[in-house]
Amino acid sequence: MSRKPVAAQHGDRSRAELVFDKPQALSALFGQYDRNLVALENRLGVYITARGNRVGLEGSAEQVALARDVLNDLYHRIGRGEEVDAGLVDASIAMADQPVLDGIIRADGGGDGTPPIMIRTRKKTIVPRTPAQAHYMRALTANDMIFALGPAGTGKTYVAVAQAVAQLITGSVQRLILSRPAVEAGEKLGFLPGDMKEKVDPYLRPLYDALHDCLPAEQVERRIASGEIEVAPIAFMRGRTLADAFVILDEAQNTTPAQMKMFLTRFGQNSRMVICGDPSQVDIPGGIAGSGLADAVGRLEGIEGIAMARFTAGDVVRHPIVGRIVEAYEGTG
């Protein structure tokens, strides 16, 4: 795709034209009844015309430049096989509006030799959909221990599982260990029917779902059977040293300080540990005051080798209404 200005700026107005070299991608780029272009017009306050493989943009210089970058980004994403929907359009606008991320949203990296931000697995390639996710994905490659803090739907656990699977596939780690508190911090499972696996599996289901999104089902089952992948409640971590492993703790806000200390001190050689949780959604007695996540963040923030990635309602990448629900609940405390 090439770009060609069609007119000089007129006061506060600017015009630009994009010429796409793959017309077959335009139906996906524009959306049904041009709904993606309409969304850009409404969100950015620009006027968009489409004729053949040419797209004209008119509006303020800043918004035209932003719309141009968003269309470039979406066009490259289609080339990588991604499906453009309303959520991706919103995410691309948010990404393009961050000057510190200039180049990262392009498929060819930043133009200075730095690679694009993405995680490749056997089934899909995951790219950041918000600036916070881009920061998080960088942290996952640069730090041994990462705390991912924020509301549901921001990709904290999903992105961590994708990175863990990628490292398992390449041999960077030998094991993938996924854990979370089951039922409650005390993990009182005895009243549930079935054996231990049947008792805890329903509470670990989100971790299994993320795994199956990144690996074919038969590989997930084979690697679980061989011990390469382990999904278990946090109580099963006691007394172990987790070396050569990528370890993820989900729903960490529902651990006690004692459980969190136990988990963190399992850290072994050539390992990476990601602790995911929403500090505002504590389901254990004592609330936030009794949460091992809040306690650990207070003690460990600023320590070398430990990164903190924080998400807000604006980073929710599920249905847009989820972000509005999170904001509504945050506003009421």
pLDDT digit string, tens, across residues 45-56: 899 998 888 899
pTM of the model: 0.62
Find the mean pLDDT for residues 126-145: 86
Map out the domains of the chain with their CATH numbers: 2-101 (3.30.1370.10), 119-332 (3.40.50.300)
pLDDT tier for residue 333 given thresholds of 50, 70 and 90: low
Asked if pLDDT for residue 170 goes beyond 70, the answer is yes
Asked if pLDDT for residue 247 goes beyond 90, the answer is yes
Asked if pLDDT for residue 108 goes beyond 50, the answer is no
pLDDT tier for residue 95 given thresholds of 50, 70 and 90: low
Burial of 258: CB neighbours in 10 Å, binned 0-12, 13-18, 19+: exposed
Find the mean pLDDT for residues 66-91: 83
3 or 298, higher pLDDT:
298
The H or E element containing residue 229 is strand 229-233
pLDDT score recorded for residue 102: 27
Are the C-beta atoms of residues 293 and 260 closer than 8 Å to each other? yes
Give residue 283's identity as a one-letter amino acid code: D
Q: Order of strands across the sheet with 13-19?
A: 2-4, 13-19, 54-60, 47-51
268-293 pLDDT per residue, tens: 999 999 999 999 888 887 666 688 99
322 or 114, higher pLDDT:
322
Asked if pLDDT for residue 112 goes beyond 50, the answer is no
Token representation of residue 157? 């656990």
Asked if pLDDT for residue 309 goes beyond 90, the answer is yes
pLDDT score recorded for residue 148: 96
283/261 Cα distance (integer angstroms): 19
Token representation of residue 315? 């980073």
Are the C-beta atoms of residues 162 and 126 closer than 8 Å to each other? yes
Asked if pLDDT for residue 326 goes beyond 80, the answer is no
